[in-house]
Amino acid sequence: MKSGPITDPELRALLHEIATDPRSRLMKLVTQGLDGRVRLQEPPISEGEPFLTRVERHLVAEYRDEVGRWLFENAKQIYLDAAKARSVAFQGSFAGWGEIRSFASLGQDRDRLLRHRLLDDDSKAALEGSRPTALDGHAARALAVASLRLVPRDSARNLTGLTSFLIGKRSDCLHELAQIVEHRPTDWYRSVAWQNIAFVHLEDGDLAASHARYLEAHRASEPRPEPLVGLVTTCLLEGDRVDARRFAVLLSELPRDDARACIGEHRQWLVSKLAGGGLALDARRAREIHELADEMPEAGRQIAFALLGQEEES
């Protein structure tokens, strides 16, 4: 199997041919309905699959890892760009996404490719006009599923679930994320999967289910800010004064920059929920949260006042 750089002109020529061939199925596993409900533990796709074209078989046989990574990085970029606009994804360094390629960076790669004399005119024309499709959740999901079928990884499984959420398929999202925790993932991805399941329940207003899953996420790995932020939020909304303080203390003991960045992103989501009427508090609960805020460390106070639609009091 070849392991050359993604800028290999043969690889890009193959991708171009696949993208323009109406018979190609590899990049259309979702749009053509071949995935159905995605089985995330399915063995990787074989170069002998009967529905692949000759070019696709060559691509899978020679460039599996390279193409799998390329598909994942493109899906990740599209998802995070779309999710940021809709306030549904943590994106700071604490979230573990690694490098997030910018449109400018991809453009530089494209320009380097265009300097390869081995590219034919059609391939050059395709590259000159190529741009990732921003804010297109369906495109992100199609790319994530194709990446998963080539190189099964928990990162691709997680992204497949998140892109399902992005396009409004919440039951599919929960089903796909649940498959991660059921099949011996790393501690990190067990925690991440439980955290994302918890967030879906929080979005749906199921506080008990959300709290239970955030607790699983917290227990699954070394302390991470996202589950603790979720636990402080659910405890405040449920009126659990003791655990709200306890989890706020644990959050305040994490590296300060990570905790502050995570809380800042969470506050943006809370603001959007309040603006949309999704977190209406009755007067009694609002009063309880305000009183409790004075008893909590700074990390907890920030979340409490965000729930109240206020800036933290000085």
Q: Which tens digit of pLDDT belongs to each residue from 199-247?
A: 999 998 899 999 999 999 999 998 999 999 999 999 999 999 999 999 9
Fold classification of 186-314 is: 1.25.40
Tell me if 75 sits within 8 A of 149, measured CB to CB. Answer: no
Where, residue-wise, is CATH 1.25.40 in the chain? 186-314
Short-list 270, 230, 236, 235, CA closest to 251: 230
Q: How confident is the model at residue 1 (pLDDT cuts 50, 70, 90)?
A: very low
Short-list 290, 200, 284, CA closest to 303: 290
Residue 101's identity, in one-letter code, is: R
pLDDT digits (tens, 9 = 90+) for 46-58: 555 555 555 555 5
Instruction: Give the integer Cα–Cα distance in Å for 132 and 106.
Output: 9
List strand residue ranges (DSSP E) for the chain, in order.
none
Q: Which pLDDT score is estimated for 32? A: 38
User: SS3 sequence, 221-281?
Assistant: CCCCHHHHHHHHHHHHHHCCHHHHHHHHHHHHCCCHHHHHHHHHHHHHHHHHHHHCCCCCC
Short-list 19, 30, 28, 25, CA closest to 164: 30
Alpha-carbon torsion angle 236, 240, 243, 249, nearest 10: 40
Tokens of 179: 């498959």
> What average pLDDT does the structure give for the chain?
77
Cβ-based neighbours of 31, under 8 Å, separated by 6 or more: 138, 142
Residue 222's identity, in one-letter code, is: E
pLDDT digits (tens, 9 = 90+) for 182-209: 888 999 999 999 999 999 999 988 999 9
Q: How confident is the model at residue 275 (pLDDT cuts 50, 70, 90)?
A: confident
Torsion sign across C-alpha atoms 172, 161, 92, 258: positive
